[in-house]
């Protein structure tokens, strides 16, 4: 096993372990932390199905963001939609045989990276151009965008400029999954792309990327508006039943 293969094998195990364990830890913590009071925000649905619909549209369409700011919505939504597309397309490196629908999106998917970088560029530009957003940006906000742009650009490079041995890459990743380690093709641009991806996976559970699982736990969005019909008890209040 070459040094390169050794390093990348370790790196991806470490990155996968970090993101999985980190997210599991965080999600569990969110789930067990009490919600002392009912605080849904308007427009609050009055039923569970309403809440599910609300979360669905928040996740897929960024509903609230659309109400708030059309530019952020446009760039943000394009970026996320493209990211999702690109991620799905990448499934073909981890599945054998490749699932049919992954094959179907394949021809369009490869342009996703351009849209992703475009969206990120718009968001990044706002951090410089809009004084309000400049004020709230810290170095990590810029670096996060740099990282994602970096992943996008190196991805585009590998795909459209230098080209790479896809069969070998796929063998490497399938090898990781089945603990049957295969050599990592030595290609500096690809290596760079993969290092950035591993870095993203590692910082995921320690950063604002927690917004992805966080959204589902946000009490203002996921609570049902029925406090008069159903007495809400949790933690503190559960123990202080006022009967008697």
Partner 1 sequence: MIDFETPVLKEYPIIPLIQPGAMAHSKPYVAKQDLQEKIGFPGELIDDWQEVAIKKMGELVSKSRALMVFLDTCVKCGACTDKCHYFLGTADPYNMPVARQDLFRDVYRRYFTFAGKHFPKLVGAKDLDKDMLDLWYSYFHQCSQCRRCSVYCPFGIDTAEISMAAREILNTIGVGQKYCNEIIGKAQTIGNNLGLPEPALADTLEGLEEDIEEETGVKVRLPLDEKNADILLVTPSADFFAEPHVDGLIGYAKVFHAAGLSWTLSSHASEASNFGLFIGSYDNMQKISMRIRDAALELGVKRIVFGECGHAWRVAYNFLNTLAGPFDFLDQNYPIPQNISEVTYDLIQRNALTLDKSANDDKVLTFHDSCNVARGSRMGDVAGGQFIIPREIIKATCNHFYDMADDTIKEATFCCGGGGGLLTDDLVELRVKGALPRMEALKQVVDNHGVTHMVAICAICKSQFSKVMPYYGFEMDQVISLHQLVGNAIVLNRSE
Binding residues for partner 1 (CB under 8 A): 26, 29-30, 33-39, 41-46, 50, 58, 62-65, 67-69, 72, 76, 123, 126, 130-133, 135-141, 143, 206-208, 210-211, 214-215, 217-221, 225, 227-228, 231-233, 235-237, 240-243
Whether 196 and 154 have beta carbons less than 8 Å apart is answered as yes
Contacted by 107, from ligand HEM, partner 1, none: CB < 5 to 8 Å by type: none
Contacted by 36, from partner 1, ligand HEM, none: CB < 5 to 8 Å by type: partner 1
Query: Distances in Å between the alpha carbon of 104 and those of 49, 59, 63, 85, 92?
Result: 32, 24, 28, 12, 11
Tell me how far, at minimum, the Cβ of 125 lies from ligand HEM, in Å: 10
Query: Distances in Å between the alpha carbon of 65 and those of 39, 61, 213?
Result: 20, 9, 17
Tell me how far, at minimum, the Cβ of 143 lies from partner 1, in Å: 7
Tell me how far, at minimum, the Cβ of 56 lies from ligand HEM, in Å: 10
Residue closer to partner 1 (CB basis): 9 or 223: 223
Would you say how long the chain is, in residues? 244
Residue closer to partner 1 (CB basis): 7 or 142: 142
Q: Closest by alpha carbon to 119, among 96, 162, 90, 148?
A: 148
Residue closer to partner 1 (CB basis): 41 or 162: 41
Residue closer to partner 1 (CB basis): 5 or 63: 63
Q: Whole-angstrom Cα distance, residue 45 to residue 223? A: 8
Backbone angle region of 179, left / alpha / beta, with phi > 0 → left and psi within -120 to 50 → alpha: left
Contacted by 219, from ligand HEM, partner 1, none: CB < 5 to 8 Å by type: partner 1
Query: Which residues bind to ligand HEM, rule: CB under 6 A?
Result: 59, 62, 65, 72, 76, 79-80, 123, 141, 144-145, 148, 200, 209, 211-212, 215
Contacted by 46, from partner 1, ligand HEM, none: CB < 5 to 8 Å by type: partner 1
Contacted by 227, from partner 1, ligand HEM, none: CB < 5 to 8 Å by type: partner 1
Contacted by 145, from partner 1, ligand HEM, none: CB < 5 to 8 Å by type: ligand HEM
DSSP 38: -
Separation of CA 201 from chain center: 9
Separation of CA 236 from chain center: 34
Tell me how far, at minimum, the Cβ of 59 lies from partner 1, in Å: 9
Q: The tokens 């195990």 sit on which residue?
A: 13
96's CB contacts (< 8 A; 6+ apart) are: 170, 174
User: By 3-state DSSP, what share of the chain in percent is helix, strand and coil, each rounded to 5?
Assistant: 75, 0, 25
Contacted by 155, from ligand HEM, partner 1, none: CB < 5 to 8 Å by type: none
159's CB contacts (< 8 A; 6+ apart) are: 110, 113
């Amino acid at each position: 096993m070459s040094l390169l293969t050794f390093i990348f094998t370790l790196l991806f195990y470490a990155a996968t372990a970090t993101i999985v364990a980190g997210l599991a830890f965080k999600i569990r913590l969110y789930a067990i932390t009490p919600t002392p009071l009912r605080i849904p925000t308007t427009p609050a649905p009055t039923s569970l199905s309403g809440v599910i619909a609300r979360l669905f549209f928040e996740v897929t369409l960024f509903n609230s963001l659309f109400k708030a700011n059309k530019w952020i919505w446009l760039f943000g939504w394009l970026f996320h939609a493209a990211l999702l597309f690109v991620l799905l397309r990448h499934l073909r490196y981890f599945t054998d045989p490749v699932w049919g629908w992954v094959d179907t999106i394949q021809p369009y998917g490869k342009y996703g990276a351009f849209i992703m970088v475009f969206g990120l560029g718009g968001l990044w530009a706002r951090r410089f151009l809009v004084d309000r957003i400049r004020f709230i940006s810290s170095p990590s906000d810029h670096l996060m965008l740099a990282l994602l742009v970096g992943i996008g650009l190196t991805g585009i490079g590998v795909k459209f400029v230098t080209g790479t041995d896809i069969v070998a890459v796929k063998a490497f990743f399938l090898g990781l999954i089945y603990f049957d380690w295969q050599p990592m093709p030595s290609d500096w641009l690809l290596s760079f792309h993969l290092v950035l991806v591993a870095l993203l996976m590692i910082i995921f559970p320690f950063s604002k990327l927690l917004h992805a699982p966080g959204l589902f736990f946000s009490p203002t969005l996921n609570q049902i508006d029925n406090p008069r019909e159903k007495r809400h008890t949790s933690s503190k209040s559960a123990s202080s039943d006022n009967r008697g």
